[in-house]
Structure 1
């Protein structure tokens, strides 16, 4: 069960994600129409204004994450949120489409998704990591649905420039949420490497690359589907566009009801690989249902619901698995590559969704998406079960220098990382139980002055 510190930190960091995504997603369903009011606007420039955010995110995730493995993560998150808020303000004050494009590019330059996830990994124990990541994944999914419902209403109320001001306000509120997250100092055994060496190390790891392919495929399919399915909900389910948020929200909530047990099973019984592959299978099944049943309202919604269940399971498992598989000294870097893959997947998904609309053959469109998911499943069969570490919470020693104490801890075999929260006077000790024997327990008891149950 999560302790109070973990619950508070998970709430704060999930809120940061949700506030950023809410501001981002509210623009998407309205800008293709509202953007025509800007001077010099063309369809191509309107599309660029929407897409440039994801492009700068994809480019800058890795630089931000490389820095986050060397320096304190919280200041980098603050910098990213300031850029996000500044970009929103520039877009809000712009009269031309070029000003909006510049503002959106600056907002996207605050590419700290991976840094936020790495910070969440720091302040949660290994055993509680999947729950924390699940809550973050749910906050993203919920913000997506709420944004698609609120976007048209808010635009009607305050206009498109007002909507950009809302994104700025959300960015500033997100900065204040960091006050709930403890300051941490990370200690581990590995020596610091050069930036290029560190990136190469991450890119050479086969399982990490499979996870990068997974997040790329997941968000490609999600984005393509949200471009592709609205017209089918209108034509075959007789649901007007203004009511689509009311379709997505209950399906999302139902999917969370089914997703939670899967996440608990994956972590508690160490069935992560099996649940992961089953979730991809669920996505494939949902897409197959839509190939053959898209003309029926309830079959279409059933396939969409199955897709949402599998999507939410994957959203929770992917960052948790990544944090387990990534080298401890390069955790943020690995998450940065993963986040870049995610945004590239969303970019190509949007392009693909537009192309599918030109086919005028709905079954073939769903078949193409199904084929992509099947290729993803075949690639994912190569994944090995992730390494499981355990966490022990210790009070910091009185009258002893913290750096000296952590160095002594890291010298003990099986202790992989020590995350210190000085203000709370506690430390999370991450341990590989497979390497713990009686000699290690004696060394640890001698250092701590008491027996520790491992």
Structure 2
């Protein structure tokens, strides 16, 4: 097959066709992207299954009525995740993505088994902490970046990002059914089984791929990742994004139950359509972004949209229909940003430290989750739910100003 010269100036007809040719996933890219998105989806489902039901189901355990210990059991995973994202991201740069993911999923399975055999909330805390030590998000995301060219990377990242939303919605449906059918130990056994499925996917299904963009002219130091201005901006962005998300879910369930007459058990009837509609509407935006190479502009538009949506939420929350529309708009922007940001991190990061950069990024995400839940809860309690939305608007506006300084990367 002849190699097209990058130095020659193509005619207008060829130039019009070129973006479409670049955006076609190769069979290896498609297999790697789909299998890694599936791995991420199954892993996240294993995490999310516990969240909707544990506060109630924990009453069957010793100290299950202790709200502080129950909260610690839910949060223990996030704390150890935040601690281990950077070390395991660095390890994936040195030893490869697959071995690190296999190691992390083994810890996830072991931690799930500890929880399944727990008789007290304290033992669940230990098991959840063990699960969190297997922090493989950075390694999975870096593997997606390794497997794809920059021209199609945002689309591949979108598959992974969408898997988070879909897994969350599915967990809302499955977790009450599983607890009713098998009890809390049965739920933890299912979570461990999902971890084992991820282990099989990482070992046998995800293909070995060349690392795109690994050839560089100069060697960079690991320390460069921690002081790279654009990576710091993106890390601040993912912190803000997940802070806003978690703070919303502090106030959204009671708001939706009040406006729509829902119960906790059937809130999935709201979440699932919203997430699916937002995903469908997100796809053309991602495709357009890749075709026109406007990643920075798309990021700025989505962040600005977040700020606007959060600012009007106090008014929209007076109506169920208006609230649903606002949530759809929020998740369209959220899904696009979930695809754009890790793709941009992989472009800005030194290729030999891609896992480290994505580890730093995922640590920032985990900290955003923890801070959003904690601070959102305090604001909701002492200032009211509407102030949570306004706090999100302020944070998104700050993020917009920070993102204006991003440089455009063509790598």
Distance 1:365 1:309 in 2: 20
- For residues 206-242 of structure 1, give each alpha carbon's deviation from its aligned partner in whole angstroms, at most 9, with x where no partner exists: 0000000011111111111112110100112222222
Contact 2:104–2:136 (Cα < 8 Å) also in 1: yes
Which of the pair is proportionally richer in helix? 2
Secondary structure at 1:69 match in 2:
helix
Work out which of the residue numbers 169, 174, 191 in structure 2 matches 1:145. 169
Matched, 1:347 2:370: yes
Structure whose alpha-carbon radius of gyration is higher: 1
Distance 1:382 1:126 in 2: 21
- For residues 297-345 of structure 1, give each alpha carbon's deviation from its aligned partner in whole angstroms, at most 9, with x where no partner exists: 1111111111111001101101111111111111110000000001110
Aligned residue for 2:405? 382
What runs of 5+ residues in structure 2 fail to find an aligned partner? 1-23
Matched, 1:370 2:393: yes
How far 1:181 moved relative to its partner? 1.9
Work out which of the residue numbers 144, 165, 183 in structure 1 matches 2:208. 183
How far 1:100 moved relative to its partner? 0.4
Work out which of the residue numbers 52, 68, 84 in structure 2 matches 1:44. 68
Aligned residue for 1:404? none
Secondary structure at 2:279 match in 1:
helix
Matched, 1:3 2:3: no
Aligned residue for 1:121? 145
Which of the pair is proportionally richer in strand? 1
Aligned residue for 2:134? 110
How far 1:185 moved relative to its partner? 5.9
Contact 1:15–1:139 (Cα < 8 Å) also in 2: yes
How far 1:40 moved relative to its partner? 2.8
How far 1:72 moved relative to its partner? 1.8
Distance 1:259 1:92 in 2: 38
Matched, 1:237 2:260: yes
How far 1:110 moved relative to its partner? 0.4
Contact 2:97–2:139 (Cα < 8 Å) also in 1: yes
How far 1:256 moved relative to its partner? 1.5
Aligned residue for 1:172? 196
TM-score (norm 1): 0.82
Distance 1:8 1:27 in 2: 30
Work out which of the residue numbers 28, 39, 49 in structure 2 matches 1:26. 49
- For residues 227-279 of structure 1, give each alpha carbon's deviation from its aligned partner in whole angstroms, at most 9, with x where no partner exists: 21101001122222222111111111111122111111211101111110111
Aligned residue for 2:293? 270
Distance 1:360 1:347 in 2: 19
Distance 1:207 1:111 in 2: 24
Aligned residue for 1:333? 356
Contact 2:251–2:385 (Cα < 8 Å) also in 1: no
Distance 2:132 2:67 in 1: 21
Distance 2:116 2:303 in 1: 40
Aligned residue for 1:80? 104
Contact 1:289–1:300 (Cα < 8 Å) also in 2: no
Matched, 1:162 2:186: yes
How far 1:292 moved relative to its partner? 1.1
How far 1:162 moved relative to its partner? 0.8
Aligned residue for 2:36? 13
- For residues 40-97 of structure 1, give each alpha carbon's deviation from its aligned partner in whole angstroms, at most 9, with x where no partner exists: 3311111000001010000001000111111121011100001011101100011011
- For residues 102-138 of structure 1, give each alpha carbon's deviation from its aligned partner in whole angstroms, at most 9, with x where no partner exists: 1000001100100011111111122221111011111
Contact 2:380–2:387 (Cα < 8 Å) also in 1: no
Number of residue pairs aligned between Structure 1 and Structure 2? 384
Secondary structure at 2:199 match in 1:
helix
How far 1:190 moved relative to its partner? 6.3
Matched, 1:295 2:322: no
Aligned residue for 1:392? none
Between 1 and 2, higher relative CO (CA 8 Å, sep ≥ 6) is seen in 2
Deviates further, 110-119 or 371-380: 371-380
Give the 3 Å change call, closer, same or farther, for CA 5–113 of structure 1 in structure 2: same
RMSD of aligned alpha carbons = 1.5
